[in-house]
Structure 1
Amino acid sequence: MPDHRRPVPAGRKGAETKRTAYGAGTPEERRAILDELAGVPLPSPSDLLPRATWRDAEWYLTARELCGLLLELRDAPALNGSPEPLVAVEGWRWTGYKGGSEVGVLNLSAAGITADGRVVCAILTANGDRLQPEDRLARLFFTLFRSAEKSR
């Protein structure tokens, strides 16, 4: 895979070196790096390099796998508390939502069980080198998920 990373400014090369060493390290080397960093204060969000890193370090699941996990974990407190307004549907037996984002990535995943017992799932993932248009994609996702209410 081609290297899409931009050059790292001089002040951030130490962090880049540590991240690279951690990614390539053995469990013992990783623990040593974490022990070394334990006393270092966290950077301010404004100090972080705003670039997409999803090509470097990420996990990958298919939409089918994500749907299965949401349904499998439907009794977990994280998915069974207050409903997410983006996917809350009046009268459905259950809805669960898990989203995530970082620079260049937006994931919206939801599953539900309709009033008549049908299982519904919707996944929207957008990847790129810039921030994703969250408002526009959230509206699209909301429409997609809610369309199951009308389909039979």
Structure 2
Amino acid sequence: MIRGGHIMEQWYILIMAGIAAGLLSSMFGVGAGILLVPVLTIGFSYAQKEAQGMSLAVMVPMVLVGAIRYKMNPELNINLLLVLLIAVGAVVGAIIGPKIAFSVSNLVLKRMFACFMIVVGIKMLLNSFVSVDT
């Protein structure tokens, strides 16, 4: 369990979790929270809200580097107008999201997160059988 002063005792686990989160995020275009939140809550006994906050903070440099690397690939057309429009909505969501998260208990939030992961996973799996790979 990592809490407070014990962080450096298991630094290597945190670095490995960061590497895995960076790989998943940049390979699949997903938020690192799908890996980091469970690692921090289950593996290191952080409360759901703490894990979510730390996961979001980790994403800032990771996402910036990943996005730049994708933009540098001449084979890809990254539509910056589309990115800007989604980013505006994402900022609004990022303002509202914590207010909702702070209004429910860690247990309720953990259950909501787990249900979200299950639903998204099942939907993606089902779609993979009917989608045309482009």
Higher relative contact order (CA 8 A, sep 6+): 2
Greater share of residues in strand: 1
Structure whose CA Rg is larger? 1
Which TM-score bucket, shorter chain as reference? Answer: under 0.3
Greater share of residues in helix: 2
TM-score (norm 2): 0.26
